Structures are given as C-alpha cells and as structure tokens.
C-alpha cells in the first residue's frame, strides 16, 4: 500500500476535548478520523495531535492534506 485510502471527500468537523489523539494517515481505520492500528504492515503511521483546550477542528478524511491532520481543501482537487 503506497497511497492512503480516501475515506471521504470532505473533512469531519468535531469538537475535541483536551488530550492526545492519533489521526489515521492510512485511511484503513474503522474509527475515522482516529487510528485503530489498521496501518500495521503498511508504511503508514498515525499522527499525534495534542489538544490543550476544547476546540472545534476540521480533520482531513481524504488523507491528501498538506496540513496534517487538518483539512486544507485538498479533497476539492480529487
């Protein structure tokens, strides 16, 4: 697997509470947008995201963002 699986062509917008999260970079997780370990055996690794205060975020689901793990509009070009 050399390319991530496109989960959706729009981001998921959610409110995150303070804590550490791991964003799925491969697109295989059943727990999108977060990692569940499905990348095992691929060259992909999850991306750590630390949130220090409650905030709303738009997390990429097309897995083509250049602003990992946040949506940068890359899905519009797919």
Looking at residues 2-26, what average pLDDT do you find? 97
What are the residues facing 47 on neighbouring strands? 23
3-class SS of residue 77: helix
Chain-centroid distance, C-alpha 19? 16
Helices (H) and strands (E) in the chain, counts: 0, 4
Q: Residues 75, 76, 77, 78: is their CA dihedral positive or negative?
A: positive
Looking at residues 28-48, what average pLDDT do you find? 97
Statement: residue 60 has pLDDT above 90: yes
3-class SS of residue 8: coil
Kind of pairing, strands 12-16 and 19-23?
A: unpaired
pLDDT for position 1? 84
Statement: residue 50 has pLDDT above 90: yes
């Amino acid at each position: 697997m050399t390319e991530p699986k496109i989960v959706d062509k729009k981001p998921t917008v959610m409110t995150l509470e303070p804590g550490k999260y791991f964003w799925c970079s491969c697109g295989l997780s059943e727990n999108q947008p977060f990692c569940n370990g499905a990348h095992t055996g691929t060259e992909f690794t999850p991306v750590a995201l630390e949130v220090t205060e409650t905030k709303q975020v738009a997390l990429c689901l097309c897995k083509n963002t250049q602003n990992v793990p946040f949506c940068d509009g890359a899905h519009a070009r797919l």
